[in-house]
Structure 1
Amino acid sequence: MTSTSATRSSSTSPASTPRWPSSAGASPVHGGEVDGVEGVWDGDVIVIEFPDRETARAWYDSAIYRAILPLRTEHSNGIAAIVGGVPRGYRATDGLAAMLASST
């Protein structure tokens, strides 16, 4: 996501912005420094964690999110995506081993 506005408009002041509800999940990544080591990266990354895809979709379709959606769309260029995750404790090497075993 790339910011297109360095300042907030009066319509998006903290007092007029709906609060982020706890049902929206954790935000383990929110605009931290990006070190693009392969390819060109121009923007920020924001990840919001949900317990499952259904909860993520319900949040995206909610009136609460629709109320704050202009904060993203009017002040940045980027995409929003719902991406399936992996279980807690997942190790990429385990997935790789299973993939290699099934290819033989």
Structure 2
Amino acid sequence: MKTSQRAIMEAYEKLGEACTEAGPLTDRERALVKIGLSVGARLEGGLHSHVRKALEAGLEPVEIRQAVFLALPTLGLPTMMAALTWAEDVLGSRKS
């Protein structure tokens, strides 16, 4: 789509940049929000992407796992376990 619909993709990327610049959240805070949104929406690919970005933003695996665990009381065990599995796809055997 990036080549066949260049104008749409450029507009989408600009929207993302505008949302990022619209407030005071740090990269780490935004990464945690995006993880929570991906977990809540059950977006496996999105969670993979946002876990990678969270690591790039300096979050530790233990912080990412806690963000996923916080889904348990609100979204339930099946959703949290699915999300934890998806997060572990990226985190793998990383410590902490």
- TM > 0.5 between the two? no
TM-score range, shorter chain: under 0.3
**Greater gyration radius:** 1
Higher strand share: 1
Higher helix share: 2
